[in-house]
Structure 1
Amino acid sequence: MNEADEIPRLMTGGDAIVDALKAHQVDTVFALPGAQIYGLTDSLARNAAAIRTIGARHEQTSAYMAYGYARSTGRPGVCAVVPGPGILNASAALLTAQAGNTPVLAITGDVESEFKDRGRGQLHELAGQVNVLRNIGKWATHIEQPCDAPWQVARAFQEMNSGRKGVATVQAGWDYFTSTSRVRPVSPMCIQPNPPIDIDKIADAARLLKTARAPMIFVGSGAVEACDEVLHLAEVVGAPVVGFRGGRGIVSDDHRLGFTVAAGAKLWPGTDVAIVVGSRFELLDIRWKYRPPGLKIIRIDIDPTEVRRLKVNVNIVGDAADGARALAEAVLRSGAPARRDEQLREAKAAAALAVECVQPQVGYLQAIREVLPRDGIFVDEVSQVGFAAIFGFPVYGPREFITSGHQGTLGYGFPTALGVKVANPNKSVISICGDGGFMFSAQELATAVQYGINLVTVVFNNQAYGNVYRDQQLSFGGRFIGSELVNPDFVKFAESFGVQGVRVDSVIGLRRALDQAFAADRPVLIEVSVPRGGDSSPWDFLHPAF
């Protein structure tokens, strides 16, 4: 019997959505219940054997946990929150997921159907909410009737997972979730086909590479599922692969061709061909702000709109794996550039030595790397240690360095790491935070305890928004405003939630504390005391002067 022949079942709107989630193999929903979605969360409660629901103390955490779940696994993360202020609280996380090409489904409510678009001031009313959500993510829709839910949810999953992955949102009126109608299920829809690779463009790119002296490959999160193909291309071309934030780990840092931005910068002035795979390539005009004379750029990206955003020599529209594979085959046929293995070794060694000056951040990062298992997951934060980690923390595999991407979302790290740990209960996961960012969601220690999320969190406490403090000191005459912070005793704060708390003030102390934290079967918070203004600036390695 196919679905068209299946007898429709009488169900509520909430049941119709949950039934569709089950059809798409969803096993976890991060939800904060509220009046407009009671019918949904009640259905989740009745389907707890199939889908676990994890609560939170703030809507932003629900969405960040969904982001962490999806970012670390590649599977869609799902969150559910109330409309208006609830979905707006979650919007920073949705924007972060969209920026990082991460599939997240947000489910939210709306005013009762009879009051929609009437401006009567109903609870949580946000005029034109679905249009707001369309501007934040990739796709959004309003479900009118339960019978429409299976198709709309299937469309959401199709949109999230096709082409450039991103955020989808479904909303429905307050009354929808408890109203009933006959519903016929819909099978998951096929992912839209990838654009065909233009063989003429591939040939043009191969001709550029045939005469290249010093090519370099740059990867972003759009290449995270093309690791093997990117590495093969790199080996064929003899080019280093530079991962910046979302591209970290696509080629392991301990591979001879795996380069951080610090190592890549050593070779950038002599680069004659840049191959950009699944990346916005912000290094070119935002970070490095230097274009080597005569530079040629080859770009492989699945998003056709990227063609107009960056002027390049050869634009190959297509899936990262398909494009990298086709280009490698063409280069093998036409001839590869000469190898320069010794130059690459020297650049990596010089960069590794140079970044040692960024202290104490790099020292702490080295301690973390020594203790964190090879396949452990590192969740960064907009902090001094987080900035240094972009170039100073070795990453060995894809989805093992979680970042907020170009959004640079302060406060995202700890709640995102909770979602990462939920999705990866058998892996070691570490969240590194500054004191300022951690306090955005510090109350979620309660969530960690309540749901047994055994995350290790390291809070580097310099009693400041460290980067703002440095900028005000260096560029604005030391007129500090809003950058100096007064914090709680983080150890006592953690212990008040039932979290194990430890305070250290040295690299050796952190290493010992981490050994014990990863062995503990409970959430652990480690506070690292750092003098205010005592961090070295990481910016010479993120915005180098050429």
Structure 2
Amino acid sequence: MQKLTGGQIAVRSLQENGVDTLFGLPGIQNDWLYNALYDAPDIRVIHTRHEQGAAYMALGYALATGNVGVYNVVPGPGFLNSTAALSTAYALNAKVLCLCGQIPSKTIGKKTGVLHEIPDQLGIMESLTKWSKRATNASQVAQCISEAFQQLHSNRPRPVGVEIPMDILASQTETTDSDFKHLPVSYPLAQISQVDDVAKYLTHSKNPLIFVGSGAQGCAQEIQKIAEVLQAPVVGYRTGRGILDSRHYLSLTLPAAHELWKSADVVLGVGTNMRIPIQKWGTDEKLKIIRIDVDEESHNIIHTPDIAITARGEDILPQLFAKISTHKAESRKPQMLNLHKAWQEKISYLEPQLSYLKVIRNILGEEGIFVDELTQIGFTSRIVMPVYKPRTFISTGYQGTLGYGFPTAMGVKVAKPDIPVISVTGDGGFMFAVQELATAVQHRIGVIVLLFNNNQYGNVQQMQRNLYGNKIIASDLHNPDFVAMAKSFGANAFRINSPEELEEICTKICSDLPTVIEIPVGDMPSIDYFRKLPRTRGAKNS
């Protein structure tokens, strides 16, 4: 038996679950948590300048590793400041734990106006996570955190929340080692008969396609083997990039697959709902759709598949490959090489994006990680940038959270300190979290930020010009001298004007300090054409 405070129990629970990094911002409601963290040097505390930064960094840590990213904030305004990142984690199926403080237990719901009180913090947290819980006494803290990790690792990964009132963090209770036990993790298991059915569909297919999303990040090898046996092109967009190396002739980005959709007879979706092709490109009775997803509820949201298997790709794909491994499909390499060539011609107008992305790819090498942003370089990267490995292309997904990129890239770099990490951003998005330069300098987080500066919310202004008769409003920006500002924080900073200068500068960077490279640019060509590709089959979605 050992007497521990709620804060000490929380910290030991994190240690028992393998947490080595916590991103956070201390405050009075969390004093007893940070007192305990002081005595736990095996957990690195990255303290930030804003709560959104802490949450985004936890998100980047989780996306880069597939492990749990943990952040801690004070209740009320502190928690609310982190919720854009929490909603982004939810959209990205990221393993993020929000460990949140709370006002004193006896005042919750009393509306007495104590510091940081909001009407229903737990209710807000529950709406942005797959599971959340409040510890109501110190003896519940370990159980709450154990349940949180059970939820994080079971079934569909999504963020979770644990709320601990300040008096519970301070109070003491007797504990034993058994209080910190791990709870069993569970996944749905598919029936063998379902695998047989899928194998039959695929081996009889003439023009199969495979679509991959975040749920396929852990089964890249199996995807490649199945694709090669079937000679099935593999399509990834945003969260599916890198699952099949872009250099493989069967690897395609989403719009490049549009031409193949109209002749596909069987489509296998692994860890993706295939929202864009199903909703935008159309379906008909000749197209058979198979989905493998760990979340049973996701199968019928957009389209009812012909076969729905509820299981992890890691569990089902080895079984599927065993069923089809002797299949002999005619090589589609000549067709795919021609398709790749035609695709390169279609995107050739995207300059200067293509030239900059080519340099970025060279700088990153085989292992480097790229973090996109809501800017023209970021949009273009999703459909043209070669990606070699899973978890090396970090995107905001459908949430489209402006300003997420820089702090998320910091979390990526903390998780992967020995490989290059590049964040591309615009001047608008960068200013959302610019204060985290101080955090990056203080904690020696050597992320490289490529800041494409056009002195406007460029995508918004482009739409105002092209779609709304040049009604420019609220999209021009007044910016600081970014190089001088970054240097004032203690960061490395440069201003360049061409891809060639970028390559020259980056070959000289060898620093554990953040580096900001400002790149003044004008208007860039849009990829909107590829967002609005026409329907190729069916008059209406089923």
Which of 16, 23, 27 in structure 1 is aligned with 2:20? 27
Which of 262, 274, 280 in structure 2 is aligned with 1:281? 274
Residues 1:528 and 2:519 aligned together: yes
Are the equivalent residues in 2 in contact too, given 1:445–1:497 (CA < 8 A)?
yes
Q: Residues of 1 paired with 2:511 and 2:59: CA distance?
A: 26
Local SS of the residue matching 1:356: coil
Which of 212, 224, 228 in structure 2 is aligned with 1:231? 224
Are the equivalent residues in 2 in contact too, given 1:380–1:431 (CA < 8 A)?
yes
Q: Residues of 2 paired with 1:307 and 1:243: CA distance?
A: 19
Are the equivalent residues in 2 in contact too, given 1:433–1:457 (CA < 8 A)?
yes
1:248 is matched with 241
1:500 is matched with 492
Local SS of the residue matching 2:299: helix
Local SS of the residue matching 2:424: strand
* Aligned-residue offset at 1:345: 1.6
Deviations 1:125-164 (A, max 9, x none): 1222112111101110000112111111111001011111
Q: Residues of 1 paired with 2:349 and 2:282: CA distance?
A: 24
Which of 140, 152, 155 in structure 1 is aligned with 2:132? 140
Structure 1 residue runs of 5 or longer lacking an equivalent are: 1-6
Amino acid at match of 1:93: A
Q: Residues of 2 paired with 1:177 and 1:125: CA distance?
A: 17
Q: Residues of 1 paired with 2:175 and 2:121: CA distance?
A: 26
Matches within 5 A, 1:324-343: 324-332=317-325, 335=327, 337-343=329-335
* Aligned-residue offset at 1:171: 0.5
Local SS of the residue matching 1:526: strand
Which of 208, 212, 215 in structure 2 is aligned with 1:215? 208
Are the equivalent residues in 2 in contact too, given 1:147–1:184 (CA < 8 A)?
no
Deviations 1:251-278 (A, max 9, x none): 1111222222243223222222111000
Are the equivalent residues in 2 in contact too, given 1:212–1:272 (CA < 8 A)?
yes
1:323 is matched with 316
Q: Residues of 1 paired with 2:476 and 2:184: CA distance?
A: 49
Between the aligned residues of both structures, percent identity stands at: 39
Deviations 1:224-253 (A, max 9, x none): 011111111111211011111111111111
Q: Residues of 2 paired with 1:389 and 1:160: CA distance?
A: 30
1:201 is matched with 194
Matches within 5 A, 1:363-442: 363-442=355-434
2:145 is matched with 153
* Aligned-residue offset at 1:199: 2.2
1:4 is matched with none
* Aligned-residue offset at 1:210: 2.9
Alignment CA distance shift 1:275-1:191 (3 Å): farther
Residues 1:36 and 2:35 aligned together: no
Local SS of the residue matching 2:308: strand
Deviations 1:309-355 (A, max 9, x none): 1311111111112222222233346x555432211121122212322
Are the equivalent residues in 1 in contact too, given 2:273–2:299 (CA < 8 A)?
no
Q: Residues of 1 paired with 2:520 and 2:309: CA distance?
A: 49
Q: Residues of 2 paired with 1:190 and 1:269: CA distance?
A: 47
Matches within 5 A, 1:463-502: 463-502=455-494
* Aligned-residue offset at 1:293: 6.6
Which of 275, 296, 302 in structure 2 is aligned with 1:304? 296
Q: Residues of 2 paired with 1:521 and 1:35: CA distance?
A: 32
Are the equivalent residues in 2 in contact too, given 1:461–1:528 (CA < 8 A)?
yes
TM-score by length of 1: 0.95
Amino acid at match of 1:327: L
* Aligned-residue offset at 1:114: 1.2
Which shifted more, 171-180 or 434-443? Answer: 171-180
Local SS of the residue matching 1:326: helix
Which of 29, 42, 58 in structure 2 is aligned with 1:50? 42
Q: Residues of 2 paired with 1:305 and 1:336: CA distance?
A: 35
Deviations 1:268-320 (A, max 9, x none): 2222211100012122245x433367211110001011122131111111111
TM-score by length of 2: 0.95
* Aligned-residue offset at 1:542: 3.2
Q: Residues of 1 paired with 2:95 and 2:174: CA distance?
A: 30
Q: Residues of 1 paired with 2:403 and 2:189: CA distance?
A: 40
Which of 447, 451, 475 in structure 2 is aligned with 1:455? 447
Are the equivalent residues in 1 in contact too, given 2:289–2:307 (CA < 8 A)?
yes
Local SS of the residue matching 2:14: helix
Q: Residues of 1 paired with 2:283 and 2:430: CA distance?
A: 37
Are the equivalent residues in 2 in contact too, given 1:24–1:188 (CA < 8 A)?
no
Q: Residues of 1 paired with 2:182 and 2:222: CA distance?
A: 27
Q: Residues of 1 paired with 2:253 and 2:105: CA distance?
A: 53
1:539 is matched with 528
* Aligned-residue offset at 1:429: 0.6
What RMSD, in angstroms, separates the aligned Cα atoms of the two structures? 1.6
Structure 2 residue runs of 5 or longer lacking an equivalent are: 537-542
Amino acid at match of 2:518: E
Which of 5, 8, 12 in structure 2 is aligned with 1:12? 5
2:539 is matched with none
Are the equivalent residues in 1 in contact too, given 2:152–2:159 (CA < 8 A)?
yes
Alignment CA distance shift 1:470-1:90 (3 Å): same
Amino acid at match of 2:513: R
Are the equivalent residues in 2 in contact too, given 1:213–1:338 (CA < 8 A)?
no
Amino acid at match of 1:175: D
Amino acid at match of 1:433: T
Structure 1 residue runs of 4 or more that deviate by more than 6 Å after TM superposition: none
Are the equivalent residues in 1 in contact too, given 2:100–2:164 (CA < 8 A)?
yes
* Aligned-residue offset at 1:544: 2.3
Residues 1:294 and 2:301 aligned together: no
* Aligned-residue offset at 1:364: 0.7
Matches within 5 A, 1:60-71: 60-71=52-63
Amino acid at match of 2:410: L
Q: Residues of 2 paired with 1:292 and 1:383: CA distance?
A: 35
* Aligned-residue offset at 1:387: 0.3
Q: How many residues align?
A: 533
Are the equivalent residues in 1 in contact too, given 2:135–2:144 (CA < 8 A)?
yes
Q: Residues of 2 paired with 1:221 and 1:158: CA distance?
A: 20
Alignment CA distance shift 1:258-1:84 (3 Å): same
* Aligned-residue offset at 1:490: 0.8
Deviations 1:4-45 (A, max 9, x none): xxx2x1111111100111111111100101111111112112
